[in-house]
Structure 1
């Protein structure tokens, strides 16, 4: 397995450019990293095959789609009973079916999960929180925070040669 520590400067530049613009042409990409098109294409294919590039997506504008409310919800689950343990195992699966949940992370600390929710407005948030989230049998407590202003939002990861996990 090749790890980030094994990526060279050109691999890192390819990843950086593709994260910024996944629709860049191979010719333009090759020119920007100083390769001819064929070797550039082979390197990109290698990065895809090794899993450094998971997929290509279009990033939709939530406000234009009428989803202007961004909220984060910390969730605490009931872990005290056998029934609670069964409900917990179903929580991660249930989250997959909730379209309002854009991201979900298992967390350390006093809360078990952190959800990123994108909805149209406070009424939609309230409906999701009360009718979906709080009705899940494992959920015992939630804490909500609302984004007031986006200061920085990116999907681009910092990529540098020699960084990352080692074998």
Structure 2
């Protein structure tokens, strides 16, 4: 198996550091070093190197959307009328300004965008359509699916391998 051309090579110690931080991002450097079998100084240097190389992009808390009043997830497929750079840029900027949009991706296939949205329920979703999405010019059509149950949500790909 070969890695993607722009991927970063990680040794097993780097992977142990990343697994520990992915599981518990608030670990002190001393605790992290003890978990991965390093002394604090080399551990700190490795973490800083992983940050500098862009492998670690930041640290944050995982929030419970339901506790914040947004228990429902909607996947919205959007097709635009045109595909000029200007149209794509304006659509992307408009989506970025909507706080309920958790993720928006330009995709291949029949649709142009796949949007992951957090909402309080169907009325909130209707409001999103009316007051946000359908006010963005250039939409040909959209399709939606409410997520019934999230089966997996993973940000760490440490155990994934590229297909040959």
1:101 aligns with 101
2:140 aligns with 140
1:51 aligns with 54
CA distance in structure 2 between the aligned counterparts of 1:159 and 1:53, rounded to whole angstroms:
16
Taking a change above 3 Å as real, the CA distance of residues 18 and 137 of structure 1, as seen in their structure-2 partners, is: same
**Conserved? CA contact 2:78–2:111, under 8 Å:** yes
C-alpha deviation, 1:155, in angstroms: 2.6
Normalised by the length of structure 2, the TM-score is 0.88
Match of 1:68 among 61, 66, 71: 71
1:35 paired to 2:30:
no
CA RMSD, aligned part only?
A: 2.1
* Number of residue pairs the alignment of both structures matches: 158
Residues 31-85 of structure 1 show CA distances to partners (whole Å, capped at 9, x for unaligned) of 11110011101100111111110000111110000101110000000117xxx76
Taking a change above 3 Å as real, the CA distance of residues 151 and 66 of structure 1, as seen in their structure-2 partners, is: same
CA distance in structure 1 between the aligned counterparts of 2:49 and 2:86, rounded to whole angstroms:
41
**Paired residue secondary structure (1:142):** strand
Residues 106-150 of structure 1 show CA distances to partners (whole Å, capped at 9, x for unaligned) of 000010000000011110111101221122111111110011112
**Paired residue secondary structure (2:103):** strand
Q: Where in structure 1 are there 5+ consecutive unaligned residues?
A: none
CA distance in structure 2 between the aligned counterparts of 1:2 and 1:78, rounded to whole angstroms:
33
1:77 aligns with 80
CA distance in structure 1 between the aligned counterparts of 2:118 and 2:68, rounded to whole angstroms:
11
**Conserved? CA contact 2:78–2:113, under 8 Å:** yes
Q: Which has the higher contact order (CA 8 A, sep 6+)?
A: 1
